[in-house]
Amino acid sequence: MNKFLVLFLLAFSLSIYDIHAECADSLALTPPMGWSSWNCFNSDISEQKIREIADFMVSTGMKDAGYEYLNIDDCWQIGRDEDGNIIVDDKNFPSGMKALADYVHSKGLKFGIYSCAGTMTCAGRPGSFGYEFQDARTYASWGVDYLKYDWCNNEGRNAQAAYKIMSDALKKSGRPIILSICEWGHSKPWTWGQGIGQLWRTTHDIISVFSGTIHWGALGIVEIIDQNAELYKYSGPGHWNDPDMLQVGNPGLSMEENRSHFTMWCMLAAPLMAGNDIRKMDKEVAKILMNKEVIAVDQDRLGKQGRRYKVFGKNEIWVKQLSGDEIAVCLFNRDDHFSWNLDIDWQKEDFSLVGVNLTEKKYKVRDLWKQKDLGTAADKMSFDVPVHGVVLLRLTPENLDIVGN
């Protein structure tokens, strides 16, 4: 082959890689929102269920509220063929993944899938170790938009190196695909994940309890919040701390706890991946998941993670810097027995850690769950926060409109 042709083809292939690498840099500029199958279906997944979920994401209003990705978790794959290509479970997914992705896309949604950096997935299905580039090309040919990449059966690999391989494979696949690093926080992926993936799990799996742990390391809501509290400096547009999928609407949480769980994920600028069976979702759960004013706190374009501002025993005040000199303030009651009565003199609060001085401008105060204007920050205010509950406030300079109305 003519050496000039070889050089041309090499330069062309490198330019294509650069284009897709640039596309990866523009992914997830706000925390990804969607739905994932594991928390409610576990391994019991099928094409029929996923099609129904896609339909309900549209009909319930979730799509319009910002939920974009429909992600299939573990147990869709059953083996590899003689050429090493991943084999889809044709009993549960008879039309194949390309047809299913097309259906999801036809609803105006994006399609996500699951694999693992190990030889096998956490449920014992084939992993991608040694097949990263082949699998990435397959995912791209199916129309995959999002890959959750787990860490079971990893055979002692270096996590950063392992995830870098899949990251490179996705960037060369010919399709922009979000990489969700699901390494459970063992090697502090927040210190190396930026540029490799767009989000990284910070803890082990979430369980549907307000507080508690189980023997293999899964954590309740409060424990996950605590482990994420000091990671704020690592989070921002295109690189998010991921405290795991939502348990809102699943058994184990009261409605007050559902509201607190959702609120704190929004304060953490966390990806919002619903994990309940939305086909059976009641009205109260729907109101929580689709409160656009609360979602706007999570999706704020500035991309700042909220910070713990004050602690009063088992009660906390969190603040989150928003664009346009706005802030979100969350009053969080972790107490198991007592409500929290709090008086706030806004003029005496020092919010300099989020770049706001309430004495320099006149701020309006709005309760985002009650969707009610409360007055201005020149007023003293009293709040009653229920057991395991929250009050979420948005403080907006008077010359700005409140986002999400």
Sequence-separated (6 or more) residues with CB below 8 Å from residue 164? 196
Could you say which DSSP state residue 197 is in? B
Which of 165, 178, 103, 109 shows the shortest CA–CA distance to 139?
178
Could you say which DSSP state residue 46 is in? -
DSSP letters of 165-195?
HHHHHHHTTTS--EEEE--TTTT-GGGT-BT
Tokens of 341: 């009565």
Tokens of 162: 């392992």
- Catalytic pick from 73, 74, 205, 300? 205
Could you say which DSSP state residue 232 is in? G
379 is catalytic: no
* Separation CA 102–CA 212 (nearest Å): 40
* Separation CA 333–CA 339 (nearest Å): 7
Sequence-separated (6 or more) residues with CB below 8 Å from residue 39? 206, 208, 245, 246, 247, 250, 275, 276
Which of 137, 162, 141, 142 shows the shortest CA–CA distance to 151?
162
367 is catalytic: no
Neighbours of 224 (CB within 10 A): 25
* Separation CA 166–CA 132 (nearest Å): 6
Q: Of how many residues is the chain composed?
A: 405
DSSP letters of 129-168?
TT-HHHHHHHHHHHT--EEEEE-TT-TT--HHHHHHHHHH
* Separation CA 203–CA 218 (nearest Å): 8
Which of 272, 321, 266, 330 shows the shortest CA–CA distance to 298?
266
* Separation CA 389–CA 203 (nearest Å): 23
* Separation CA 328–CA 246 (nearest Å): 21
φ/ψ (deg, to 5) at 194: -65, 130
- Catalytic pick from 150, 244, 277, 300? 150
Which of 87, 71, 89 shows the shortest CA–CA distance to 79?
87
Active site residues: 150, 205
